Chain A
Amino acid sequence: MAEYDVTFIEREEREARFLIRGVTPAFANGIRRAMIADVPTFSIDTVRVIENSSVMFDEQIGLRLGLVPLTTPLGDFDIGDEVTLALDVEGPGTAYSGDLVANDEMVEAADTDIPIIELKEDQRLELEADAVLETGRDHAKHQGGVAVSYRHLQGVENVGERDEFADDESHIIRGVIEDDGDLIPTEDFGNDLTNRYPDTEVKVEDVPGAFVFHVETDGSFDVDTLVTEATATLRSRAEALTDAVAL
């Protein structure tokens, strides 16, 4: 039955662009939504301040800490699991996300250079924080996928020469085009079809069932993990439904 075909256009650890063929709009949207809201990540949720003589209130520091992406090894934890982190920085200097030390070495700040607060002479920030594994549905700070979207693959077809006296207008499009089986990101020709097909009349049409996904994670895990886990949440819900119906 369902037969999909995936082709990568760009592929890095935290960001990727890939084409899925043969997918229905409903399923494409389901994966997108699952990537945003249903794949859990660790985020600081409770902070116990031991000393805060910085210029910011505890609550402000707490908010900033919550937004720090933490690496999340999903196989080893369940939703609701907690990890404790500690931070102790004395001024003058800046407290960075990299100064957070967890009691579990698998969990750490995904980026170590996020400033939490700048401390002056005699200022100090010392605290303990509990990070909890939750989903983006619970709070946006738990979103693993920060920029997840898709658009149709656009087929470009050459339909003859452009009218000799036609206006010299640009033809801006974004995304990925398919020309004779080749996949070309529109950035390659400045997003302007007239650069790629000068003096040519072209027809642009969405290719049915072909979606180009753009996925970017916050560093909690790589793109592969995000896609696989999002698919797994859909599957586990469908399995739970099958079981519930069978009863």
Chain B
Amino acid sequence: MELRVIEKGDTSLSIEVAGEDHTFMNVLKGALLETDGVAAATYDMNPEQSGGQTDPILTIKTEDNTDALDALETGAQRVVEKADALETAYNTAA
């Protein structure tokens, strides 16, 4: 997965995630919003109608004591846990 940092502060991060669409970005955004220390998280698929730019840009703002990049890692980890949990639950029922 190719990432390009567009803006980075201590408690904020704007990052382009190449090759992804709503399928993953919305799941990730949902997971980030559940993560401790994240104040805001969103993504934009077609930022400012910029001609041709279609890779999503993820924007995260965090509380003072949380680094935005760490929050992103925690959020991604949370998606992995969700996927594991679903697979376990499905196989238990199947």
Contact = CB atoms under 8 A, between A and B. Distances in A.
Contacts of B22: 33
Counting chain A residues whose Cβ lies within 8 A of the other chain, the interface size class is 35 or more
A35 to B, nearest CB: 10
A238 B83 contact: yes
Interface string A31-47: 10110011000000000
Given A242-B77, A245-B69, A234 B83 contact: yes
A246 B3 CA distance: 11
Provide the main secondary structure of the chain B interface.
Answer: helix
Interface in B32-73: 34, 69, 72-73
Interface string A1-14: 11111111001000
Interface size class of B (residues with CB under 8 A): 35 or more
B86 to A, nearest CB: 5
A199 B41 CA distance: 48
A23 B86 contact: yes
A179 B87 CA distance: 27
Interface of B: 1-3, 17, 20-24, 26-31, 34, 69, 72-73, 76-94
